[in-house]
Structure 1
Amino acid sequence: MLIGLVLILVVWIGAGWAMVAVAGPFKPSGVFIDIGGGRKMRLVCAGPPAGPTPTVWMEPGAFGLAADFAAIQQKLTAKGIRSCAYDRAGMGWSDPGPKPRDAAAIADDLAKLIAASGEKGPFILMGHSMAGLYVRLYAGRHPEQVAGLVLIEATTPEQIDNPNTQKFIGAFTSLSKVAAVSASVGTTLPLYWTAGDRIGLPPQGSAEKRHAYVSGRHARTAAEEVGNWERSAREAAAAPPYDPDWPVSVIVVDRGEGDRPGDARRAPERAAKHGTFEAVKGASHTTILGMTYGDSAVRGVEFVLAHLKSPGA
């Protein structure tokens, strides 16, 4: 029985390696920026050169990387808007970073990357999912770098004490550990084509997402970030709140719940002098970033830009 299971596992993993091999050689997009100490991070910028319109700087969610925003970057480029997305340390093609992989470490790396990249702020910060915590801490530490915010299905530090949030974090942490082990031993490889891109990305972004999905290093780092969720939330909560003068767009999936007055995800939008909210019908937590539903993010950026230019903004 045991020998049979081992043989099945070997065949499964072997089939996965064959699938990845058939995909052929692969080169990720973007450039590699030395942020100091010999560490390099991958940065993918798109659109026209930086000008009077703020660049959109993108922070992916749990298990995410620059590729998560490939569809939105394509859509923003078509509008003449510059954007930059990156792989956090140890994720995708970026070198590992110091531990623990919490919001503080991620904000430190981001500050170094922006400085080394030569990209000029202030930026419109865009964060998806767990990146809401990282965006909050970075904005609190570097308010001079912020023009406005687009928060997509974004977690807020105010959610951390909610019992439902605590329950979700516990389950997600356990699942993340399983995913890290699975990717590390190669059992995710046969899912390269079917599960690697659940966003709906253009070809290059989709290929990058699939490669990250079967990467043990990527999954282990992601699991560590998830394991530090509560620590990151506490760090973000201790940071200064968003400046109410910053225009804020909050975008979520329409789950048929209606307008929930106590929804902490809407707190940044409700506290802003210029805020907007959109619930996207038909989208999921992942597809909201893709080619089908990513226009909602573009609308969010356009809202922020319009209110930057409005009198008194």
Structure 2
Amino acid sequence: MKRTLAVVAAASLAAAATAEAVATRRHVAAEATRYVDAGGYQVAVTVRGLRPTPETPAVVVVVGAGDVQASWTAVAHRLAADTQVVTYDRAGLGGSEAGPAPTADRYVAELQAVLDACLPEGRYVLVGHSLGGFIARLHAQQHSERLAGLVQVDATPDEVAEDRGVQIGFAVSGVLASVFKALAPLGLIRLLLALRAFPLYPEQRAFEARLSPDERRAWVDAVDRSMGPGGAAGPELRSVLPCAREAQQRIADVGRPQFGDLPLAVLSSHARGSERWVGMHRELAARSRAATHREFDDRFHNIHMAHPDAVVDAVDDVLRGRLLHQPAH
């Protein structure tokens, strides 16, 4: 009798474990990495989640200068539970091949190549961080037909070209990138990342808490490659100010609000050390009649790494159309 009860109990536990495993798998979004031709070179693209529906647009992430799509792992996993999420590495970053010198036109063309290959139809929301926010806005200005909304995560404003403080900040970042490039073969980048002391990622500890060991190793490899001798992190960081100047020229004759009723969510940090940076983001939010602006008190520029839940909430608001009747402020 006791043996029979033990067998029944073991079988019940096994069945429960199997059911839990199956239930867990249901919540894990499908994920596939592919390579897209961007005009003579291949860029690495990761597609997560289910196919988008007319009710729920896809989400496309455009990373910041010198950054990699692996930095968006935590946010992408969360968003992929509800819709399709596309992330990619620009030329010379992460898993992508080297490409032409970085320019505003190349950045926009590269994004368009990813969209043409992965989302040939249907609507999408662009989520742009730092330089990626600038790229997303240029795309919105040129290709608004299927665009369902914009999320700007501590995005680079056009006005930075005139701000001396921000100019100095980008200059320092460019110098650091050059130093890391020279010392990467000696293992400096991996050492600093292991010590969680890499200056361009002060949010690393909070970010890593949400990663599996394999995801962390993939992120470290991508950062090391991007910052190393064959990577494009340095050139990208040095391209920010010239691109901002070009953006100013392109929107000089554009009417206001620039984006009309397009849903727009803006997130700001104090990483650049001045109220003017946040003020530029307030002006950015005013470019749409359906906008919201959230400000963080800390100095974490990589908001998606320090506050992934807030980024997910902002994207979800745009996806669900919650900003459609809110005035810009």
State the TM-score, normalizing by the size of structure 1. Answer: 0.79
Q: What is the one-letter code of the residue matched to 2:291?
A: G
Matched, 1:214 2:215: no
**2:147 corresponds to which residue?**
146
Q: Quick check: 1:173–1:223 contact (8 Å CA) kept in 2?
A: yes
State yes or no: 1:127 paired with 2:135: no
How far is 1:259 from its partner? 7.6
Query: Match of 2:321, as an amino acid?
Result: H
Q: Is 1:34–1:116's contact at 8 Å kept on the other side of the alignment?
A: yes
Which residue of 1 is the match for residue 13 of structure 2? none
Question: Are residues 1:272 and 2:283 paired?
Answer: no
* Cα separation, 1, equivalents of 2:266 and 2:59: 15
The residue aligned with 2:238 is 227
Alignment check: 8 A CA contact 1:160 1:230 kept: yes
Alpha-carbon deviation of 1:37? 5.3
> What is the Cα deviation at residue 155 of structure 1?
1.0
- What is the SS of the residue equivalent to 2:67? coil
Match of 1:56 in 2: 59
Query: Is 1:90 the equivalent of 2:92?
Result: yes
State the alpha-carbon separation in 2 of the partners of residues 252 and 211 from structure 1.
Answer: 28
Structure 1 window deviating more from structure 2 (90-99 vs 246-255): it is 246-255
Q: Which residue of 1 aligns with 2:18?
A: none
Q: CA deviation at 1:298?
A: 1.5
In the alignment, does 2:74 pair up with 1:71?
A: yes
Counterpart code for 1:166? Q
| CA RMSD of superposed structures (Å) | 2.9
Letter in 1 for 2:248: A
Alpha-carbon distance in 1 for matches of 2:116, 2:74 = 26
Gaps of 5+ in 2: 1-30
Of structures 1 and 2, the larger Rg is shown by 2
User: Residue type matched to 1:232 in 2?
Assistant: C
Write out per-residue CA displacement over residues 56-110 of structure 1, whole angstroms, 9 at most, x where no aligned residue: 11011122111111111112123x13211101111100111112x1222111111
Structure 1 SS opposite 2:162? coil
**Cα offset, 1:262, TM superposition:** 7.1
Report how many residues are paired. Answer: 280
Which of 230, 239, 243 is the matching residue for 2:250? 239
**Corresponding residue number in structure 2 for 1:47:** 49
Distance 1:138 1:160 in 2: 19
SS at 1:214's partner residue?
A: helix
Match of 1:289 in 2: 304
In the aligned structure 1, how far is the partner of 2:236 from the partner of 2:185? 16
**Paired AA for residue 235 in structure 1:** E
Of all paired residues, the percent bearing the same amino acid is 25
1:3 corresponds to which residue? Answer: none
Residue matched to 1:23: none
**Contact conserved, 1:92 with 1:218, CA < 8 A, in 2?**
no
SS at match of 2:232: helix
Q: For 2:139 and 2:216, how far apart are their aligned partners in 1?
A: 28
Task: Please give the alpha-carbon distance, in whole angstroms, between the structure 1 residues aligned to 2:166 and 2:177.
Answer: 16
In the alignment, the residues of structure 2 paired with residue 280 and residue 82 of structure 1 have an alpha-carbon distance, to the nearest angstrom, of 28
Q: CA deviation at 1:247?
A: 0.9
Whole-Å separation in 2 of the counterparts to 1:189 and 1:258:
31
Structure 1 residues 261 and 228: CA distance shift in structure 2, 3 A: closer
TM-score by length of 2: 0.75
Q: Which ranges in structure 1 are unaligned for 5 or more consecutive residues?
A: 1-28
